C-alpha cells in the first residue's frame, strides 16, 4: 500500500544562536533527515544536542540559520503547498494554569474558530481517549503529573494533527507513571497509525514507540545514525523481552555512549 500524507525533509539544517557571553553557539550542524507519514520517528541524543531545537524547526516555530526544510506530498512525490497540521506535547506540560482541563483542551479549537458546542464535544472525546473523563472542570494544579501530561496529550490530539510532536513527553514524570504512560501511548500509536516525532532521552521509550530512531551526536548536533525498529506491534513492556530488543538497545547505547561522554565534557568546559 502506498502511503499518503506529508513528509518533512530536513536538508543540511544548521542553527547558530548568539549568546550574551560573546561566542555564538552552534546548536545544530548539517542535519539531514526525513520524517515519513504513518511512521513514528524517535530522536535520541545526549543532553544539549539540539533534539528539541530540531523538533521546533520541524514544527516551524524556529527558523534554521542554514539549510532548508521541505514539506513533501508523498503520494505525488512533489513539494506540498501547505505544511502538515502539527501539535506538540511538552516535557513541562505547558498547561494554562488559569484554564480548567476542558478549557485547556479547547484552546486550540477556539483559535481555529470552532463553534462552542463543537469544541466541547471534541474536547470531551479527546479527554475520553486519555481516560480523563470526569476531570473536565479541574484545574491543572489539582492533577498529578501523569494526569497533567494526559491533558497535554488530549490538547494536542484534539487538533487532529497529521504529525504529533512529542518533546520528551514523559521527562518530568516519575519512573512508574512513565512506564504506564509509555504503554498507553504505544497503544494509541498502534491503533491510530499516527505519524509522530518523539524526542527522548530514553532508549527504551524510543524502541517501544518508534519505527525509526535517529541517534544524534553531542553539540553541535548531527544525525549520527538512522536505525530502523522492526519489532512487531502492538508493543508493550513485554516487548523489552522480545528477541531483537536487546541487540537494538545495545546498538543504540553503543552509539550514544561516546556522544554522552563528549556532551559531559562540553558541560564541564562550559561550567
Partner 1 sequence: MTIHSSPSPPGNPDKRALARGLIARIGEPRMLAWTAVAAVLVIWEVAVSVADINPIYLPRPTRIVAALIEMFRSDRLLVDLLITLGRIFGGFTIALIAGTLLGVWMATSERVNAIADNFIAALYPLPKVTLIPLFIIWLGTGGPFMLTISALGAVFPIIINTVVGIRQCDPGLVLAARDLGANNRQIVRMVLLPSAIPSIFAGVRLGLGVSIILVVAAEMLVGKFGLGARLYLAGQVLETEQVFAVLIILAALGIVVTKIQDAVDTWLSHWRIS
> Would you tell me which residues interact with partner 1 (CB under 8 A)?
56, 59, 61, 86-88, 90, 92, 94-98, 107-108, 110-112, 139-141, 155, 159, 165
Phi and psi based region of residue 201 (left: phi greater than 0; alpha: psi -120 to 50; beta: remaining): alpha
β-strands 22-35, 86-89: how paired?
A: unpaired
Distance, CA of 187 to CA of 217 (rounded, Å): 30
Nearer to partner 1 (CB atom), residue 51 or residue 222: 51
Q: Directed axis angle between helix 145-157 and helix 101-111, to 10°?
A: 20
**Element containing residue 270 per DSSP (H, E):** helix 245-270
Residue 71: CB minimum distance to partner 1, A:
17
Residue 213: CB minimum distance to partner 1, A:
24
Nearer to partner 1 (CB atom), residue 87 or residue 185: 87
Residue 255: CB minimum distance to partner 1, A:
30
CB 206 within 8 A of CB 171: no
Residue 19: CB minimum distance to partner 1, A:
17
Residue 174: CB minimum distance to partner 1, A:
15
Distance, CA of 87 to CA of 66 (rounded, Å): 24
The conformation of residue 237, written as its DSSP 8-state character, comes to G
Amino acid at each position: 500500500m502506498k502511503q499518503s500524507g506529508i513528509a518533512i525533509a530536513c536538508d543540511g539544517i544548521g542553527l547558530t544562536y548568539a549568546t550574551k557571553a560573546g561566542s555564538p553557539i552552534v546548536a545544530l550542524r548539517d542535519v539531514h533527515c526525513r520524517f515519513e507519514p504513518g511512521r513514528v520517528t524517535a530522536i535520541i541524543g545526549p543532553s544539549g544536542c539540539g533534539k528539541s531545537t530540531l523538533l521546533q524547526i520541524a514544527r516551524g516555530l524556529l527558523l534554521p540559520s542554514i539549510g532548508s526544510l521541505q514539506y513533501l506530498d508523498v503520494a505525488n512525490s512533489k513539494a506540498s503547498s501547505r505544511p502538515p497540521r502539527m501539535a506538540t506535547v511538552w516535557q513541562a506540560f505547558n498547561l494554562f494554569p488559569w484554564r480548567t482541563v476542558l478549557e485547556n483542551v479547547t484552546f486550540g479549537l477556539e483559535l481555529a474558530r470552532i463553534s462552542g458546542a463543537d469544541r466541547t464535544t471534541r474536547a470531551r472525546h479527546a479527554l475520553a481517549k486519555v481516560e480523563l473523563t470526569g476531570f473536565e472542570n479541574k484545574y491543572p494544579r489539582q492533577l498529578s503529573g501523569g494526569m497533567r501530561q494526559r491533558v497535554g496529550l488530549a490538547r494536542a490530539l484534539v487538533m487532529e494533527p497529521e504529525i504529533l510532536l512529542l518533546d520528551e513527553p514523559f521527562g518530568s514524570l516519575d519512573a512508574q507513571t512513565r512506564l504506564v504512560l509509555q504503554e498507553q501511548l504505544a497503544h494509541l500509536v498502534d491503533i491510530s497509525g499516527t505519524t509522530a516525532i518523539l524526542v527522548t532521552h530514553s532508549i527504551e521509550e524510543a524502541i517501544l514507540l518508534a519505527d525509526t530512531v535517529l541517534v544524534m551526536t553531542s553539540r553541535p548536533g548531527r544525525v549520527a545514525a538512522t536505525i530502523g525498529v522492526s519489532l512487531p506491534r502492538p508493543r508493550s513492556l513485554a516487548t523489552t523481552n522480545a528477541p531483537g530488543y536487546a541487540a537494538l538497545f545495545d546498538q543504540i547505547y553503543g552509539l550514544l555512549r561516546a556522544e554522552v561522554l563528549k556532551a559531559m565534557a562540553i558541560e564541564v568546559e562550559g561550567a
